[in-house]
Structure 1
Amino acid sequence: MNDQKFEAFYAEYYDKVFKYILKKTGNFHAAEDLTMDTFTACYKHFDRYDETKASLGTWVFTIASNKLKNHYRSDQTFAQLQDYSAVDDGMEDAVVEAQHLAELRDVLADALETLNEVQQQVIVLKYFKNKNSKEIAQITGLTSDNVRAIASRTVKKLKDYFDMRQIEY
């Protein structure tokens, strides 16, 4: 096992997992215990994590979700909440989706840094500022045809960046 890699993983996800569990349980001490149980399980199985099956975020939140389910099963106080499991599943899906979007945002930020200044400007204006090719041409001093060509090549470059890292978008 690579302890440094696990330490970086722990540092990145501990607070996120703790807040998720605290929100679910409403109990600080239970959240601490369940978060530690989650990371203990992660540590024991870290060598078996397969990045082709799920991102680290999805993996750790799945383990946290299972720890929560086990906690609720063992706590008779929550027996009546079994009827609301569909709501919990929806919330878990929302957390996993939010985590995935956060990861995509981070990867996109890294990918944009690989572009030259003109490529960055064209992509930001087109996809984040919703400018058309003619407007971008006026802003940048390029021709509309050149803007379209740069945008097309740059989008392909960004897709390749995501594909090379096996990131689903």
Structure 2
Amino acid sequence: MGVISYFKKKKDEQNFRTTYEKYYDTIFKRISYLTGDMHAAEDLTQEVFMKLYNSPPDHNNIAAWLNKVSTNISYNYIRDRKIHEGKNEVIYEKEMDNVVSIEEAAINNCEVDLTKKALNILSTRDRMCLLLKFSGYKYSEIAEVIGVDKNSVGTLISRAQTKFKDNYLKLEKRGE
């Protein structure tokens, strides 16, 4: 009598229970050893025996079948766990790249405030030159906006940068 008839035709719960009790510890230990996770081993061992109950092998070597199925299930679990952990690491690293510490935020806020103060000290024309230049405008466009010859824009920007730097350093030194 083959295993199929052993479980399927008779639906003999007692024979299944006997097989379960005989091999449960061995299969649990095997899966636990392979996965390194006793909690997962409990679930995976149950899965092995569910497979045995629902789709028993067509031969009588139940021990070999249980070992093969438990090994396959363990390796599938390990592979899936590595994939999941790899995705979590990538997500964590991306999130950490986006996180700004409180200290960095405070420093950034201080620098922004200092920059605004240094810009506000400049004349309107110098401030406009710098803001337009660092917003990506071309010299010809800056010249048109501030009403000067385009050949003098480079000199104006250079002088405005020097004034801005001096103002910034003075404010920084005073602790503003």
Q: TM-score range by the shorter chain?
A: 0.3 to 0.5
Tell which structure's C-alpha radius of gyration is larger. Answer: 2
State TM-score, norm by structure 1. Answer: 0.41
TM-score by length of structure 2 reads: 0.39
